[in-house]
Chain A
Amino acid sequence: MGLAKRIIPCLDVTDGRVVKGVNFLELRDAGDPVEIAKRYDDQGADELTFLDITASSDNRDLIFHIIEAVACQVFIPLTVGGGVREVEDVRRLLNAGADKVSINTTAVLNPKMVQDATARFGSQCIVVAIDAKKVDNQPFEWEVFTHGGRNPTGLDAVKWAEYMVSLGAGELLVTSMDRDGTKIGFNNQLNRAISNAVDVPLIASGGVGNLQHLVDGIILGGADAVLAASIFHYGEYTVEQAKEYMQQQGIEVRL
């Protein structure tokens, strides 16, 4: 027995509500963030991730209130990402009750911010999120994209992962943009390539449609944790059912 593989439900939040999109588009309302967070905690979620996808700057502060409210009632690790631009944003989120902060676009625009944030708050609370897509116009297989998947960067996702770890990233959240919202499973080749290249834990994201996909993410993709949204939001499966299935397949989980 040893360290359990983690299941992390992900809550995409905009204007104070949880939503879920398909391929980064077409948002559907999925409910109140505090209620959903409590429900997942009761089901045995190992952590929760909140991605703030609020577009307008007017409503950006809502995420702090949400995290404060969740942190009073849910005592498992909370990660928050989306719109984190400065070290000061990290400090505010940690003060609101977040345990980890996920950095995506800013890491590409200003890698030094990752270094500064890990130096100030420690690697344990800095997750670098990487949105990657398979490309055929580059000398490598998977390219990093930013701004919610809109902008190509010319960066090789595997090399980028190594670089981010060298700057202090404590975990990597790898989302396959080709798979996000498609329900055809994680991109296990991409995840395996990154997992083999770095020492820090990898959280696989993007594409989960059934419980076998979670198992494949760990066994084939080499992920240390699996992140999923829609299979949990719409009640197709509970976190507990997912863990029971993973355990039947020989994966160690916290039940």
Chain B
Amino acid sequence: MQKVDIAVVDYGMGNLRSVSKAVEHVASGKSVVVTSDPDLIQSAERVVFPGQGAMPDCMRELDARNLHEVIIDSAKNKPFFGICIGMQLLFDHSEEGDTAGLGLLKGDVKHFASDQMFDEKGNKLKVPHIGWNQVYQLQLHPLWVGVADATRFYHVHSYYVAPQDNTVTAGVTEYPSRFTSAIAHDNIFATQFHVEKSAQAGLQLLSNFVNWKP
């Protein structure tokens, strides 16, 4: 049966082409497939789990493609990179549509509190949070190698994760309060921001992931 180096999970949600192009760009010589085949994902050495749109739709589409189990298994056993909703889905629960997540990590996914969205000068902060914001690294991690602290990454989201165990937080972003924008736990690394759209810094993170031996 076919074996692949890197599987990008396709469950019908999001900019898969952008993600696979960025992974291919940093993974020369490795096979990268975009797939919704559970067996192929099972066979992959590493898994990238993207996601865009609304979390209830994402969970529904995952279940419709019988991907629930293989995602949990991959996230427990091999280098695993979650992006955006692909990070949010790892948690217990989301306020978005009161949705149960995959429950790999303890914590909730919350909406930006609309009554607190002002900067220090009192200007209204827009939601969704769209654009290049600084990510402050809270722990040393092989995936941060070559990425300066406070580097800007491209964010697009209205919800953020609030982990119960704050030792999983690998990076935070301020908007206007600090929220967890990167997590690291065993073989899992995940980002709220879009590494595939964050120019050189994002490619560096992805390149580190492709070579990561957790």
On whether the beta carbons of B202 and A2 are closer than 8 Å, the reply is no
Partner of B17, one of A97, A123, A125, A254: A97
Is B129's CB within 8 Å of the partner chain A? yes
Is B214's CB within 8 Å of the partner chain A? no
* Nearest-neighbor residue (CB-CB) of B152 within chain A: A254
How far apart are the CA atoms of A76 and B52 in the complex, in Å? 16
Q: Which residues of the other chain, B, contact A96 by a CB distance below 8 angstroms?
A: 17
The number of chain B residues touching the other chain, given as a range, is 35 or more
On whether the beta carbons of B156 and A71 are closer than 8 Å, the reply is no
Q: Which residues of the other chain, B, contact A71 by a CB distance below 8 angstroms?
A: 17-18, 21
Q: Which residues of the other chain, B, contact A121 by a CB distance below 8 angstroms?
A: 14, 52-53
Is A170's CB within 8 Å of the partner chain B? yes
By DSSP majority rule, is chain A's interface helix, strand, loop, or mixed? loop
Q: Which residues of the other chain, B, contact A120 by a CB distance below 8 angstroms?
A: 53
Residues of A205-255 at the interface with B, using a CB-CB cut-off of 8 Å, are 224-225, 254
Residues of A within 8 A of B (CB): 1-6, 41, 46, 71-72, 75-78, 94-99, 120-125, 170-171, 199-202, 224-225, 254
Residues of B within 8 A of A (CB): 13-18, 21-22, 25, 52-54, 114, 119, 124-134, 150, 152, 154-158, 174-176, 194, 196-199, 202-203
Given A75-B198, A254-B152, 15 more A-B residue pairs with CB atoms under 8 Å apart are A2-B133, A2-B175, A3-B125, A71-B21, A75-B197, A76-B154, A95-B17, A97-B21, A122-B14, A122-B53, A123-B128, A200-B127, A201-B126, A201-B128, A224-B126
